[in-house]
Amino acid sequence: MRQIVLDTETTGINPKLGNRVIEIGCVELENRMLTGNNFHVYINPLRDSEEGALNVHGLTTEFLSDKPQFHEIVEALRTYIQGAEVIIHNAPFDLGFLNHEFKLLNLPDFSSHIGGVIDTLVHAKELHPGKRNSLDALCDRYGVSNSHRKLHGALLDAELLADVYLSMTRGQNSLGMDVEEEVVSGAELLAPVPLADIIFLPASAEELAAHEATLAGLDKAVKGQCIWTATLAPQLAA
């Protein structure tokens, strides 16, 4: 399943007052794995940012003056997000701005190009009612490092949100399974199997690669080594 984690920066908080999108950052997930196929663009809004917004993102009018306008990047954006499930923190804000930008160009809504929306703010409130659920708060809660985040940036925030989303929805946080263990009496034990009757099937190259990718994902999630990697490392070194 293809998912796109998306964030925007804008000149203000209300598109109906003439505020525009000035940065779009997207991170692609394929079957819950980061692919590196990201989308990032700065946009010239042909207007200044409001003071409050400028304090958040730091993208000045001068910096944006030589960047493309929205109509110059919209086709690349439409192609990139087509049919994907989009993951956004506080989705109504970003979707409101993107739908407005598409409307200005007489195009179908941004929402009509995608395969659905997951709002991580809604999901976080369901998981952690009564607690702070900003992106920074979720990074702290799930152990996602955001120490390099001095100002808001669309691509950086999308990358952080991707890590948070994967942690929020992982479901199983350890290699142990919380299932009831069935007690088997000695009389019910299977008879020993002769070694000659045991068939050994080595893992294929594709299966080994998939295994390594899964371990790498676990290591990334814990910002270090998962139990499996930590246990195997001394054996491999020996």
Gap between the Cα atoms of 60 and 11, Å rounded: 10
What is the bridge-based pairing of β-strands 2-10 and 33-34? unpaired
Is 152 assigned a catalytic role? yes
- Distance between start and end Cα atoms, the chain: 39
Task: For the chain, state the CA radius of gyration.
Answer: 23
14, 21 contact by CB (below 8 A): no
Containing 205, the helix (H) or strand (E) segment is helix 205-222
Gap between the Cα atoms of 136 and 155, Å rounded: 15
3-state helix, strand, coil in the chain (%, to 5): 45, 15, 40
2, 28 contact by CB (below 8 A): yes
> In the beta sheet, which residues pair with residue 54?
none
- The residue among 137, 162, 152, 149 whose CA lies nearest residue 39 is 162
Q: Which of 89, 100, 113, 152 is catalytic?
A: 152
State how far the alpha carbon of 98 is from the alpha carbons of 21, 25, 54, 70, 221, in Å: 7, 12, 19, 10, 31
Catalytic residues: 152
